[in-house]
C-alpha cells in the first residue's frame, strides 16, 4: 500500500447527524461529501432500516441538508436545507401530486456503503455556533429552510418555510400538523440596513459583541419562534419567544413538548453581549404564558422533553466557567411545577454531576422513558454511554465497548439507540442498538487476555451496523494502528496520550519514527481514539502521531481541566513536553524528527512550545492566538478572556504572561503559521504578528492565509492544500525524507 494523497480527502463521506424514527424501526442520518469539480460540500439525508436488512438509501440530492427530525407518527422526515425554492413557490400553487420514484421502494437510489464518516479535520470544540447577521457575501445563495419528505407517498421533499432570512432549528407539534421554527425577522429599518450592507454599505454597530466567527459583523435583528402550518405554510409569530435582538449562541433551539408547550433557550439578561448566559424558557403555542425555567447561572443547549411532558432535560455548564464539565440537568415543568404560573427557576438539578465527567459535544441527552435518560460522556479520553436517572445515581453502561473506539451522534426512539462508532483503522459508521442491550458488559468469545476489548468488537456485539462508509478508501490505503499510553508529567500528574502509528509499526519492538505532536484545540476538549483522515495521512508516511490530553482537557474531571483556567502555557506545556519525552524514551520517536502542530488552542500551544524549547525539527501553528492583549476585542471571545484573565487594562501582566509573542525572541524552530482570512475566533492578525516576529529574526517561516475561511478550513480545495502544506513543511526539515528542489521557499 502507498502513501495517502492529500487529494483523497475529497473522497471522504462524514456522518453529521442521526435521528431514530418514533417506532424505532428506521434511522435517518446525514452525510457530508465533497464535490471537487464545484469545490463545494454536498450534504445528504439517508434512511436505513434499524435492523440492517437493507442498505441505506439517499433521500436528498440537494447540496445542503441537515438536522433531520421525524414527525411524531413517523410518516414524514423534516430537515433544514439551503436549496433552490420549491417549484410550488416559484410558479404558483401546485396540486401536491408527487410523481417521482417512491423513496420507500428503494429504486433508483444510491448505495450508502461507499464512503466514510470521519472527524472534522481542523475543527476544534470551542464552539462555532452562529448568531444573527450574515455579511459574508452569501446573500445571493438560497437561505436554509425547513423541508419535509412524505415517506408514505414518496417523491421529493416539500418546502415548508419561506423565511427571507432563513431558519435556524425547528421541531414538530405533537399532532404533526404544525412545526415551530426559529428565524430572524427584521423590521423595515433593519431590512433597509441589511440591504445596504449587501451593497457594501458601511457597517454600523453599537453592540458590544460586534462580530462572531462564521457570521462576521453582527446586527440587531431579533430572532423569534414561529408556528407554521405544514400544509398551508401559514405562520404566526410568538412575540414573547425571542432572543431580544442579541442572538443566543446556538440559536433558540425550539423543542415542542407532548404536553403542548414549546421550550426554547434565550438570553434576556440586562446586557446579553456581556455574558454567555443561555436560559431555558417555555411558552404556549399561541404565544402566551412564557415561563423562565433556569436562573441565569448556566449556558444551556440541547433541550429535550420527557415522553410525558412533565420534565425537560438539557446540557449546561456555568456560563462564566467553561472548564466545569457540561452536565445533564432535569427540570420539573409539569402542571404542578409552578402553581402561580410565573418563573420557576431553581426547580432543576444535575443528574450527572456525581460522574465528574463532561457530556460529549455530540452526545446530547435522550429520554429512554419518563424517569431515565441516556447520554454520551467524555470519560478519560474515551466517549462512552451513561444512563441517568431522574431520581438515582448515574451509571456507566455498555462496558463491552472497545477502548479503541469512540461513540458519537446519539439518538433514541422506540427502544432503538442509534450512534456512530469510530475506530482508527475502520472509519466511522452508523450503528443501531436495542436499548435493552445497554447493560452488556462482556461479549462472548472475547479474548481473556484482552479484557478491555482493545482487539475490537466480536461477532456477539449487539450493535447492528447500518452503514459501511469509505470502504474503497479504507481498502486502498494503509490505516493506522492505535495505542493508549499513560505518562507522568513533571509534577507527577498522570497524562494520557492517544498514539496513532503505521500499521507495520510494532510498539513492543519499535524503530524510531518521526513524531507529529498534534495538539487538540479548546483547550476545553479532549482526544479519543477514532478515525481521523489526518492521522492516516501522516501514518501512511511513516510518522507516529501523538495526541495528548494535557491538563485543560475535559474528560478527566473538573480539577484536571480547571487547573488551566487563567494559566495557559503552564501545566499544559509541561504535559506536552513530558509526553514527547516518554515517546522518545520508549524508542517510538526519533529525537531529531519532532514536529509539533495544532489547530486553534493547538496553535496556541505550538507557539508556547517553540518559545520554550528548540529541539523541534519544525513546527506548524494553525489558526491560533499569540498576543492575548491585542486579541481582546479583535476576536469574538472577550467574555471568555475576561473570565480567565480579567480585563487587559486592569490585569495587563496576566495577558502578557500568557502570550507567546512576548517570548518570541528566542525562537529558532522553522515555523509554518496559518490563518483564516475571516476567522473571528483567532483573527489572522495574530498569525501575522507571530510570523513577522519570527521572520524578522531570520528564522525560516512561512505564512499561509486562507481567503474567505473562518475558524476552520471548510473549502475542499483548501482542506487539501492545508494537508499538503503541513506535509511539505515537515518534509523539508525531516532528515529522513527527501524534498524535491523548489517545493517550498522560505
> What confidence tier does 400 reach under pLDDT thresholds 50, 70, 90?
confident
H or E element that contains 619: strand 619-622
Is pLDDT above 50 for 251? yes
Predicted local distance difference test score (pLDDT) of residue 601: 98
Whether 281 contacts 331, CB under 8 Å? no
H or E element that contains 66: strand 66-70
Is pLDDT above 90 for 38? no
Is pLDDT above 60 for 616? yes
Whole-angstrom Cα Rg for the chain = 25
Q: What is the pTM of this model?
A: 0.90
Share of the chain above pLDDT 90, in %: 80
- Between 133 and 463, where is the model more confident? 463
C-alpha cell, 674: 496559518
Instruction: Give the integer Cα–Cα distance in Å for 452 and 454.
Output: 6
The long-range contacts involving 392-396, CB below 8 angstroms and separated by at least 24 positions, are: 393/354, 394/351, 394/352, 394/354, 394/355, 396/355
Predicted local distance difference test score (pLDDT) of residue 459: 61
C-alpha cell, 529: 481514539
CATH class of 479-732: alpha beta
Whether 721 contacts 736, CB under 8 Å? no
Is pLDDT above 90 for 605? yes
Instruction: Determine the distance from the C-alpha atom of residue 113 to the mean position of all C-alpha atoms in its chain, rounded to a whole number.
Output: 24
Instruction: Give the integer Cα–Cα distance in Å for 529 and 551.
Output: 18
Identify which of 265, 280, 188 has the alpha carbon closest to the alpha carbon of residue 223. Answer: 265
How much is the mean pLDDT over the chain? 89
Is pLDDT above 90 for 1? no
Is pLDDT above 60 for 458? no
- Strand 327-332 to strand 544-549: parallel, antiparallel, or no bridges (unpaired)? unpaired
Mean pLDDT of 19-30: 98
Per-residue pLDDT tens over the stretch 639-666:
999 999 999 999 999 999 999 999 999 9
- Between 400 and 469, where is the model more confident? 469
Mean pLDDT of 353-363: 93
Instruction: Give the integer Cα–Cα distance in Å for 15 and 31.
Output: 4
Predicted local distance difference test score (pLDDT) of residue 691: 98
Predicted local distance difference test score (pLDDT) of residue 313: 98
Per-residue pLDDT tens over the stretch 131-170:
344 444 445 688 999 999 999 998 889 999 999 999 999 9
Is pLDDT above 90 for 452? no
DSSP state of 551: B
Per-residue pLDDT tens over the stretch 404-436:
999 999 999 999 999 999 999 999 999 999 999
- Between 342 and 497, where is the model more confident? 497
> What confidence tier does 245 reach under pLDDT thresholds 50, 70, 90?
confident
Instruction: Give the integer Cα–Cα distance in Å for 304 and 289.
Output: 19
Per-residue pLDDT tens over the stretch 538-557:
999 999 999 999 999 999 99
Predicted local distance difference test score (pLDDT) of residue 61: 64
> What confidence tier does 85 reach under pLDDT thresholds 50, 70, 90?
confident
Per-residue pLDDT tens over the stretch 176-218:
999 999 999 999 999 999 999 999 999 999 999 999 998 899 9
Is pLDDT above 90 for 94? no
What does each C-alpha distance from 467 to 14, 41, 115, 488, 511 come to in angstroms?
11, 20, 9, 40, 37
List all residues 6 or more positions away from 187 whose beta carbon is below 8 Å from its beta carbon.
221
Predicted local distance difference test score (pLDDT) of residue 40: 86
C-alpha cell, 513: 519514527
Is pLDDT above 60 for 386? yes
Share of the chain above pLDDT 70, in %: 87
Whether 536 contacts 568, CB under 8 Å? no
Is pLDDT above 70 for 348? yes
C-alpha cell, 254: 425550539
DSSP state of 221: P
Is pLDDT above 80 for 369? yes
Is pLDDT above 60 for 323? yes
B/e letters for 140-153, b = 16+ CB within 10 Å, e = fewer, are eeebbbbbbbbbeb
Predicted local distance difference test score (pLDDT) of residue 128: 35
DSSP state of 131: -
Cell match 460540500: residue?
41
Q: Where are the domains of the chain?
A: 479-732
Amino acid at each position: 500500500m502507498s502513501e495517502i494523497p492529500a487529494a483523497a480527502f475529497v473522497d471522504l463521506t462524514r456522518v453529521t447527524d442521526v435521528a431514530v424514527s418514533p417506532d424505532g424501526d428506521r434511522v435517518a442520518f446525514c452525510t457530508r461529501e465533497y464535490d471537487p469539480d464545484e469545490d463545494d460540500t454536498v450534504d445528504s439525508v439517508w434512511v436505513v432500516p434499524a435492523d440492517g436488512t437493507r442498505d441505506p438509501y439517499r433521500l436528498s440530492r440537494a447540496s445542503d441538508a441537515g438536522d433531520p427530525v421525524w414527525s411524531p407518527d413517523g410518516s414524514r422526515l423534516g430537515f433544514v436545507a439551503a436549496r433552490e425554492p420549491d417549484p410550488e413557490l416559484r410558479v404558483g400553487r401546485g396540486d401536491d401530486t408527487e410523481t417521482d420514484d417512491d423513496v420507500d421502494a428503494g429504486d433508483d437510489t444510491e448505495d450508502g456503503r461507499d464512503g466514510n464518516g470521519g472527524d472534522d479535520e481542523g475543527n476544534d470544540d470551542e464552539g462555532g455556533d452562529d448568531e444573527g447577521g450574515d455579511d459574508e457575501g452569501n446573500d445571493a445563495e438560497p437561505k436554509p429552510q425547513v423541508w419535509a419528505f412524505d415517506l408514505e407517498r414518496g417523491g421529493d421533499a416539500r418546502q415548508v418555510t419561506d423565511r427571507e432570512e432563513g431558519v435556524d432549528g425547528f421541531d414538530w407539534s405533537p399532532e404533526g400538523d404544525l412545526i415551530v421554527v426559529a428565524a430572524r425577522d427584521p423590521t423595515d429599518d433593519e431590512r433597509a440596513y441589511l440591504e445596504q450592507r449587501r451593497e457594501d454599505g458601511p457597517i454600523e454597530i453599537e453592540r458590544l459583541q460586534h462580530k462572531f466567527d462564521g457570521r462576521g459583523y453582527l446586527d440587531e435583528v431579533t430572532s423569534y419562534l414561529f408556528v407554521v402550518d405544514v400544509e398551508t405554510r401559514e405562520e404566526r409569530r410568538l412575540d414573547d419567544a425571542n432572543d431580544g435582538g442579541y442572538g443566543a449562541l446556538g440559536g433558540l433551539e425550539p423543542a415542542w413538548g407532548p404536553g403542548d408547550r414549546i421550550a426554547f433557550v434565550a438570553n434576556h439578561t440586562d446586557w446579553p453581549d456581556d455574558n454567555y448566559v443561555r436560559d431555558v424558557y417555555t411558552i404556549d403555542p399561541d404565544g402566551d404564558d412564557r415561563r423562565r425555567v433556569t436562573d441565569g447561572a448556566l449556558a444551556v443547549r440541547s433541550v429535550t422533553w420527557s415522553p410525558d411532558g412533565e420534565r425537560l432535560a438539557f446540557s449546561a455548564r456555568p456560563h462564566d466557567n467553561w472548564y466545569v464539565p457540561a452536565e445533564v440537568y432535569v427540570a420539573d415543568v409539569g402542571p404542578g411545577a409552578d402553581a402561580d404560573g410565573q418563573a420557576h427557576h431553581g426547580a432543576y438539578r444535575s443528574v450527572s454531576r456525581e460522574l465528574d465527567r463532561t457530556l460529549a459535544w455530540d452526545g446530547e441527552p435522550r429520554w429512554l422513558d419518563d424517569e431515565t435518560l441516556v447520554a454520551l460522556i467524555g470519560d478519560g479520553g474515551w466517549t462512552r454511554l451513561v444512563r441517568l436517572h431522574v431520581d438515582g445515581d448515574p451509571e456507566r453502561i455498555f462496558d463491552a465497548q472497545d477502548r479503541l473506539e469512540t461513540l458519537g451522534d446519539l439518538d433514541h426512539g422506540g427502544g432503538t439507540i442509534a450512534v456512530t462508532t469510530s475506530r482508527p483503522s475502520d472509519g466511522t459508521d452508523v450503528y443501531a442498538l436495542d436499548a435493552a442491550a445497554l447493560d452488556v458488559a462482556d461479549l462472548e468469545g472475547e479474548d481473556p487476555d484482552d479484557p478491555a476489548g482493545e482487539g475490537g468488537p466480536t461477532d456477539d456485539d449487539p450493535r447492528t451496523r447500518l452503514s459501511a462508509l469509505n470502504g474503497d478508501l479504507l481498502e486502498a490505503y494503509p490505516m493506522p494502528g492505535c495505542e493508549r499510553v499513560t505518562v507522568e508529567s513533571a509534577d507527577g500528574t498522570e497524562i494520557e496520550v492517544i498514539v496513532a502509528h503505521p500499521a507495520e509499526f510494532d510498539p513492543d519492538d519499535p524503530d524510531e519514527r518521526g513524531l507529529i505532536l498534534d495538539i487538540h484545540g479548546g483547550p476545553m476538549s479532549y482526544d479519543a481514539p477514532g478515525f481521523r483522515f489526518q492521522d492516516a495521512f501522516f501514518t501512511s508516511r511513516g510518522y507516529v502521531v501523538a495526541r495528548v490530553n494535557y491538563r485543560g482537557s475535559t474528560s478527566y474531571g473538573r480539577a484536571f481541566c480547571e487547573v488551566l483556567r487563567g494559566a495557559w502555557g503552564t501545566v499544559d506545556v509541561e504535559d506536552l513536553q513530558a509526553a514527547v519525552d516518554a515517546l522518545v524514551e520508549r524508542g517510538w520517536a526519533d529525537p531529531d524528527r519532532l514536529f509539533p502542530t495544532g489547530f486553534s488552542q493547538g496553535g496556541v500551544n505550538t507557539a508556547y512550545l517553540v518559545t520554550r524549547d528548540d529541539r523541534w525539527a519544525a513546527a506548524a501553528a494553525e489558526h491560533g492566538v499569540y498576543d492575548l492583549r491585542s486579541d481582546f476585542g479583535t476576536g469574538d471571545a472577550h467574555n471568555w478572556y475576561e473570565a480567565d484573565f480579567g480585563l487587559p487594562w486592569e490585569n495587563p501582566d496576566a495577558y502578557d504572561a500568557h502570550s507567546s509573542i512576548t517570548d518570541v525572541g528566542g525562537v529558532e524552530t522553522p515555523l509554518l503559521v496559518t490563518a483564516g482570512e475571516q476567522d473571528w475566533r483567532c483573527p489572522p492578525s495574530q498569525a501575522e504578528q507571530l510570523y513577522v516576529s519570527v521572520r524578522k529574526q531570520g528564522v525560516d517561516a512561512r505564512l499561509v492565509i486562507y481567503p474567505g475561511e473562518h475558524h476552520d478550513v471548510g473549502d475542499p480545495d483548501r482542506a487539501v492544500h492545508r494537508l499538503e502544506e503541513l506535509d511539505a513543511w515537515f518534509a523539508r526539515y525531516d532528515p529522513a525524507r527527501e524534498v524535491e528542489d523548489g517545493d517550498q521557499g522560505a
